Chain A
Amino acid sequence: MNNESILSRIQEHFGSEIISSEVNFGILTIEISAAKSFEIIEWLNKDEILDCSYLTLLGGVHYPESLNREFAIVYHLHSWRKNYRLRLKVFVPSENPSVRSIVSIYNGANWMERETFDFYGIIFEGHPNLKRILNMDDMDYFPMRKEYALEDETREDKDDRFFGRSSN
């Protein structure tokens, strides 16, 4: 099972929902639309040829600079019978960061979605118990968002320019 045949198989069924695709260090990465993410993952789980029945990892990424694509939800799937990994990305805007929960497909997604909600404030619609998991319940912000600096803001020696990025 090589990456081209995986991609063409998915394109056959969800051609219009695939926004882009690339291969990163051997893992096929596909960006799919948020509206159809649940259907695609459910189909990947059931499909006999692709047989992507295992969810390895689910998490979020924050890209504050990309307009209307501020949050990414990244799914790592793994087919154990065919032994390949697949990475799916869903981008959602910061005004309405929500995507359909996949807990009904993979129970293991439950805490991973809660953690992503806890860190980024991404809403997983249909999640049975979407609340904070690692942080305090009464926390009123989402700490992994890029606007929350880790360091003390009064320090001048630790801004982003010193980390190889020139944001200001």
Chain B
Amino acid sequence: MKEENIAVGSTDNKSEGTIPQFMSESTVNKESLEKLLNNEDNNTTGNSLANLTDSKETIDGKYATINFGPTHPATHGIFQNILKVDGEKIISSEQTVGYIHRAFEKLAERRPYNQITPITDRLNYCSSPINNMGWHMTVEKLIGVEIPKRVQYMRVIIMELARIADHLICNSVTGVDTGALTSFFYPFSEREKIYELYEEVCGARLTTNIGRIGGFERDFSPTFHEKLKNFLKTFPKAFEEFNGMLERNRIFMDRTRGAGPISAERALNYSFTGPNLRAAGVDYDVRVMQPYSSYEDFDFIIPVGVNGDTYDRFMVRQEEVRQSIKIIEQAYKNLPEGSYKADVPEFYLPPKEDVYNNMEALIYHFKIVMGETEIPAGEVYHSVEGGNGELGYYLISDGGRTPYRLQFRRPCFIYYQAYPEMITGMTISDAVLTLSSMNVIAGELDA
């Protein structure tokens, strides 16, 4: 490969579908190249490693095959993309996933219901509380528990904090991949405050295992109230500081607009959900379509984009952070009085001092720990709006103490399929940017 190709490709990264200047007409069939660049005869759903090498059209007579990943710093996770490039232009690509596959669906078939919560932590580990609570709500739906309003509001507060943390990471990493490292460090001090809030509730930070089937481990502590009030006061200001760095930054906008776009129609066909779909202009949000945990009580808007490109994805997430703050404020202001747990002694572990002093509590403790709980048979699908989209749990119970089958609907796994289609004709640097703005989390991808 000639040196000049790389130089031209990296500076002229928006020349999609046109033939670069340096090329002489005699060396290439113009029509077939344009056809290839416009992805007309490239069946992206069926591309495999085999047909990465049998194309004939080239710019300089050579294609290069590049391994982007599995341990490349720009993938932000362990997954591989095999890119076939012409200069710096991506002709076709294929992803290899499964590097951190931990067989969660199989594991779940041999674990009592309360032991599955730690598995869900490790799906999208940037927003574990949403996964935990989605799972709790699935089981509660199966066993038919009435959840107190206070618990629902507490859950909303925690889930929206998790959404903020998730979007902050994604957007600041998008900043890193455009070369702005400052925008990565600033939000992390804010994310730290969110982790401190988790810590107050459950004692953990990243893999939270927060809450239980039926409610929370304990009520919000006075320190939590203090820290949350402080967070609500200081975060919007700090967040606007972060916006000041990127949102209307000319360099950032030029870099991200038009990078890795997808149309609403294609996104729907690929079963996109979450911010990536909303960036393409479809206002689907599980919180509004099928409200759970009292989301119908809150006033918030669903931001949508227009072009479905990296800038729109970034902006949708930015606006969602502001809306999440709005939801937390409403939920915290109207936080109802009451118990922090539902009355389900068969599922909710009794407090330790009761176990020592109270026969009934001891029996329930024993039954829960030994897995002697009666679980009704049934089939449930429950979904929540995770950080990346519709996070669903399809649970089949046959009355055993473990699920007969538990399938996770992992939004990452489903929308990451569209990645080759989104980056074909783009440059490698755009591919990096597209990947980070899609927020593909390896834990959720590989389950």
**Residues of A near any B CB (own CB < 8 A):** 24-25, 27, 29, 53-57, 59, 61-62, 74, 76, 80, 83, 85, 87, 103, 106-112, 115, 119, 128-129, 131, 133-135, 143-144, 148, 150-151, 158, 162-165
Evaluate contact between A164 and B400: CB separation under 8 angstroms. Answer: yes
Evaluate contact between B417 and A164: CB separation under 8 angstroms. Answer: no
Evaluate contact between B106 and A143: CB separation under 8 angstroms. Answer: yes
**Residues of B near any A CB (own CB < 8 A):** 43, 45-48, 97-98, 101, 103, 105-107, 109-110, 141-142, 266, 268-272, 284, 289-290, 371, 375, 378-381, 383, 390, 392, 394, 396, 398-402, 404-405, 407, 409, 413-418, 446-447
Closest 6 CB pairs of A and B: A128-B46, A108-B271, A164-B400, A134-B98, A164-B401, A134-B101
Evaluate contact between A61 and B381: CB separation under 8 angstroms. Answer: no
Evaluate contact between A80 and B400: CB separation under 8 angstroms. Answer: no
Determine the chain A residues whose CB is within 8 A of the CB of B396 once the complex forms. Answer: 61
Determine the chain B residues whose CB is within 8 A of the CB of A106 once the complex forms. Answer: 269, 271
Evaluate contact between B414 and A135: CB separation under 8 angstroms. Answer: no
Q: Could you tell me the distance between the alpha carbons of A163 and B47 in the complex, rounded to whole angstroms? A: 43
Determine the chain A residues whose CB is within 8 A of the CB of B379 once the complex forms. Answer: 24-25, 29, 87
Evaluate contact between A56 and B371: CB separation under 8 angstroms. Answer: no
Contact status of A135 and B101, CB under 8 A, knowing A76-B381, A112-B414, A150-B110: yes
Determine the chain A residues whose CB is within 8 A of the CB of B43 once the complex forms. Answer: 128
Q: Could you tell me the distance between the alpha carbons of A83 and B97 in the complex, rounded to whole angstroms? A: 32
Interchain Cβ contacts within 8 Å, total number: 113
Determine the chain A residues whose CB is within 8 A of the CB of B101 once the complex forms. Answer: 134-135
Evaluate contact between A54 and B268: CB separation under 8 angstroms. Answer: yes
Q: Could you tell me the distance between the alpha carbons of A115 and B399 in the complex, rounded to whole angstroms? A: 26
Evaluate contact between A134 and B45: CB separation under 8 angstroms. Answer: no
Residue of A nearest to B94 (CB): A129
Contact status of A108 and B270, CB under 8 A, knowing A25-B379, A128-B43, A150-B110: yes
Determine the chain B residues whose CB is within 8 A of the CB of A119 once the complex forms. Answer: 105
Determine the chain A residues whose CB is within 8 A of the CB of B269 once the complex forms. Answer: 106-108
Evaluate contact between A107 and B45: CB separation under 8 angstroms. Answer: yes
Contact partner of A110 among B107, B290, B371, B417, CB < 8 A? B417
Contact status of A53 and B110, CB under 8 A, knowing A164-B399, A164-B400: no
Contacts A/B (CB < 8 Å), 19 sampled: A54-B271, A56-B383, A57-B381, A103-B45, A107-B270, A108-B271, A110-B45, A111-B416, A128-B46, A129-B48, A134-B101, A134-B446, A144-B105, A151-B110, A163-B110, A163-B371, A163-B401, A164-B401, A164-B402
How far in angstroms is the closest Cβ of chain B from A78?
9
Determine the chain A residues whose CB is within 8 A of the CB of B417 once the complex forms. Answer: 107-108, 110-111
Evaluate contact between A165 and B398: CB separation under 8 angstroms. Answer: yes
Residue of B nearest to A63 (CB): B404
Determine the chain B residues whose CB is within 8 A of the CB of A76 once the complex forms. Answer: 381, 392, 394, 409
